[in-house]
Every structure is written in C-alpha cells, then in structure tokens.
Amino acid sequence: DTAVSQTPKYLVTQMGNDKSIKCEQNLGHDTMYWYKQDSKKFLKIMFSYNNKELIINETVPNRFSPKSPDKAHLNLHINSLELGDSAVYFCASSQGGRSDTQYFGPGTRLTVL
C-alpha cells in the first residue's frame, strides 16, 4: 500500500492554464506539506497543513492555492501557469508535533510549455 500518493505523476500543459495536483496519505498523519523541487534539485517548502488548517505558507505566488478537504488529502491548485512553475512537486506528511519524520510522495513532474 502506498503511504503517500500523488496524481498525476506527469503533467504537461500550456502557459496560462489552470491545473490541480492531488495528494492522499493513508498513514493517519495530522500534517501534510507541499514542496517544490526545481531543476537543480533544490527542495523548498511551499505549504503545510495540520488537521486541515494552514500553518505554513511560504512566499509562494497566490496563483498557488492548497486545499485540504480532510486531513488525509491536500490538493494543490495552480492558476495561470507560468514557465517558471515547471518543477517536480512533492507532497509529504508527518505525524505532527515537534520535528517529526516526513514521508514523501513520488512527486508530480509539471512541465509548462
């Protein structure tokens, strides 16, 4: 059973489009995250939710909007896609509390043409 799953695995789209990436975890964790990994492999946190509540919102354009319908799901919606949004997006989850282990999903490779 996959602990943290993401769909789709690959996403190719045109500039200006709106797209969503879905994430689900079956670990019973309270906290979920979105990370962006750029072409140089640099991994940067974008958002963090704890029990459906936003707790970390880094300096991310407001074209990016996370949505957590329940604590097992954290989706990422991106409006008006730009070339610079091309990256691999990782969802992760952790039990919560201080400095806990994060479990990452397999990633979604987004290519904006």
- Left, alpha or beta for 16 (phi > 0: left; psi -120 to 50: alpha)? left
d(CA 9, CA 83): 18
Contact 3, 25 (CB under 8 A): yes
d(CA 62, CA 36): 15
Contact 87, 35 (CB under 8 A): no
List the one residue from 1, 28, 39, 40 that touches other proteins (CB under 8 A): 40
- Of 29 and 112, nearer to other proteins (C-beta) is 29
Q: Select from 12-20, 48-56, 64-72, 76-84 the region that touches other proteins (CB under 8 A).
A: 48-56
Residues 57-86, interacting with other proteins (CB under 8 A): none
- Of 31 and 68, nearer to other proteins (C-beta) is 31
Residues 9-38, interacting with other proteins (CB under 8 A): 31, 33
**Binding interface with other proteins (CB under 8 A):** 4, 31, 33, 40-45, 48, 50, 55-56, 90, 92, 94, 96-107
